[in-house]
Amino acid sequence: MGTTDKKSKNAAPKNGGHVIMDLPKNIYRSVIREKTTLRDQSESEPVSDNFFVHVLPVSPLEHPRFGYTLGLGVISMSLFLIVAATGMLMLFYYVPSTEQAYERIVDLNATVSFGRIVRNIHRWGAHGMVAAVFLHMCRVFFTGAYKPPREFSWVIGVFLFLVTLVFSYTGYLLTWDQLAYWGTTVGTSIAGYTPILGDTIQFLMLGGTTVGQETLLRFYVLHVFVLPLLMVTLLGLHFWRIRKDGGLAYQNGNERD
């Protein structure tokens, strides 16, 4: 009788306080995989938990339905690769200088072989990526694919969306034309109205008090180094969690049939 009561007590759902207290431990266990010392089947756990060995789900979908996911995640990732490839090509010609940036963009469009095509692919690919990531998040939300056990993947997706927006904004200034200059001026002025830290945030973004060389250099470093590194890291975590959570969510619920 005592054993039955103990099992029933352990099986009872935890209240909100316990969930909050266990949150750090659950996050640690979901990210850090401890090395096992058990024998037999347990010895394969270090391999099965490795991201590079098992990127894909253990078993594929029996009845994949394009009409459910619309392939928005694949579209977003494909656009990111296209934008990254064209961006690296433009790095061979672009100079982050207030005296040369605009002239380089003009030359890229007018005189460099395939320069206009590469730049337009990069620009429209970036616009399409923002739209695709936004629609992907809407699909996940309205189909309930963010629910347990996929809540951690949803949080990573939110950060990926924010990084995508910052990507678009930092690239906006690099052309150094009138539209980019005044658009950045307005954006940084809005950031300056942030409570308490507004002035500090605005100063860090501008590198001073006005939009100039320091601003262009900071946006350039963010756009070509910091944000790509952050994006790749978050994408790796996102794909890893999708695999660990059983792959794509099914149309008939979040779990596999």
CA 219 – CA 172 distance, rounded (Å): 9
pLDDT of amino acid 243? 77
Mean pLDDT confidence for 81-86: 97
CATH of the domain at 199: 1.20.810.10
Position 100 in a domain:
yes
**Using an 8 Å Cβ cutoff, are 158 and 137 in contact?**
yes
Q: pLDDT, tens digit, for every residue of 12-46? A: 445 556 667 777 777 776 666 555 454 555 656 66
Position 203 in a domain:
yes
What is the number of structural domains in the chain?
A: 1
Position 97 in a domain:
yes
Mean pLDDT confidence for 200-227: 94
Question: What is the span of the domain harbouring residue 103?
Answer: 66-244
Position 18 in a domain:
no
Cα distances (angstroms) measured from residue 7 to each of 2, 11, 14, 97:
9, 6, 14, 68
Position 233 in a domain:
yes
Instruction: Tell me which amino acid residue 16 is.
Output: G
- Please give the model's pTM, rounded to 2 decimal places: 0.75
Position 79 in a domain:
yes
